Structure 1
Amino acid sequence: MIPDLNQLRCFIAVGEELHFGRAATRLFMTQSPLSRQIRMLEESLGVRLFDRNSRVVRLTAAGTALLDDARRLLELAGHAVDVARRIDRGASGKVRIGFTAVAGYDLVPNLIARAGEALPEIEVTLHELVSVAQIDALRAGTIDLGFLRLLADMDPDLQCRPAVSEPLLLAVQATHALAARERIAGGDLAGQPFIQYSATEGKYFHDLIGSVLAGTGRPPRVVQQMSQTHSVLALVRAGLGVALVPASAQHLHFPDVVFRPIWRDDVRAELHLVWRDANHNPACPVFAEFAAAYLSGPDGHGSTQSAEF
């Protein structure tokens, strides 16, 4: 039979004091109920824990063996209660975070490093996913938070915090004629082979870039559609076309690819921190609050970024 924790607590006090009166005072109780607890413990275990008479109290061999283990059991029980309480209030636990490829180059690693210092008991697991896949993962509950691009059909129970706002730049091979321009005009792209984002996996940028190109009169000629920014830049480096990409693409450091500002300063690519309002993970809002504070502070990227992001 597993001993009652209160009985163990009484046993430890008597075992350490070797005096029922002092042990009772230590436990803020009288000797009679203390003696009863010790007797019940001995009966439940089927062993004698103390040799006692009117003058002396000694631990038996069984009592001596039990004392250290009893201390550890009480310590473990206290630790288990503390862990449960910390998890319940979100101070401890696990958080699963989705992120887009470009966010994983600088933003997410720096955030996770800071979170490791500020929230050391929250374990973070990372999942690199395009924005559409992150929304599906949030719906399915396979991630808790996501750094993603907002889409038109977002669920109403999703909570969003702005993370990064950045301009679009033209990515072009270093030897291309447009690389010599300080700034790209809309007409410069007329008829150019163009690498566009996928209308499904890269829907956010596909739609954003499509709206930018719609006002140029004669649009470029789309030759390929990719879902990820690093794939877009790989095709640009190979000389297969030019592309409009978020300024954060500069962090990918593709050789022989240069970036030029474009004619639309007003168009911004927005990255948001998103989580479900119905998420039952207590660590999720705690981490989301920390992330929001980090992003708005001097060490975060803030709400706006220049072309040097």
Structure 2
Amino acid sequence: MEHRNSTKVTEFVLLGLSQTQGVQLFLLGLFLLFYSLILPANVLIILTINGDPHLGSPMYFFLASLAFLDICYCSVTPPRMLADFFSCRKAISYGACMAQLFFLHFLGAAEMFLLIAMAFDRYMAICKPLHYATVVNRGVCWALVVASWIGGLIHSIIQFVFIAPLPFCGPNKLDNFFCDIPQVIKLACTDTYILEFIIFCTSGLATCICFLLLLISYGVLLVRLRASSPNGKSKVASTCVTHIMIVFVMFGPAIYLYCRPFRSFPMDKVVAVFHTVVFPLMNPMIYTLRNREILSAMKRLLGRSGLWKGK
């Protein structure tokens, strides 16, 4: 293992989204407005589902878990990004960079596994309706959510074990607004060809496989619905379509970022913003806006608190 020099990197310099002050101020205002609207909406989704007995089905339990997980995921990189808008030199310590990378993949993988759990829930509800209440009970729901978190933790540990021992001896500039594997690995002062292939298999290829399996499973469910009784078919089909939208929103940017060679491309920062900032908070919103039961429950909750005076 050959080092470029003997200097050990203790911090990384983040180049951010833009070097122009005017653009930075515009992005700061835009992201603050986005968070001030969407983040409370996600909290409202959780409070509504947990506080309304009409939303006690496993489907809504998983949706509340998804909203909570997305809030956690959006607490990893955006706060640092917003703070860096006020800083002339956007530096992050080596330890903070590794922590950011670890939690980013931990929570991202946990969400991926949670989407698989949600697909299993829809399969049981549509294909095994007589056994649904028995099989997908509250204990099983909790087990699936915990398994999602554990799966995300294992995935992140695997990535971290490969990245943490890498020697960094300069340069130390990351062309991004957060620490992630594709940018960090390029700064290592050693040959990373084999390591890049391993991470591609454990992260990128795994993401692609899960994405395809989810699309196939929901495709089968939609075909199954066409051959079933028309009673309630429209509502169930709408739910499946919503899940497919969330799968595309979640996996699309991830596939773009991790299922390719670790080189810089013009759209990297734009896709990274949507992947880490915008889309995670939008996932539960996509579901909520297409679900009348949740909207009605929200109105009842806000009505009891005096914040809604509609009928």
TM-score by length of 1: 0.24
Could you say which structure has the greater relative contact order, defined with CA pairs below 8 angstroms and 6 or more residues apart? Answer: 2
The structure carrying a bigger helix percent of its residues is: 2
The structure with more radius of gyration: 1
TM-score by length of 2: 0.24
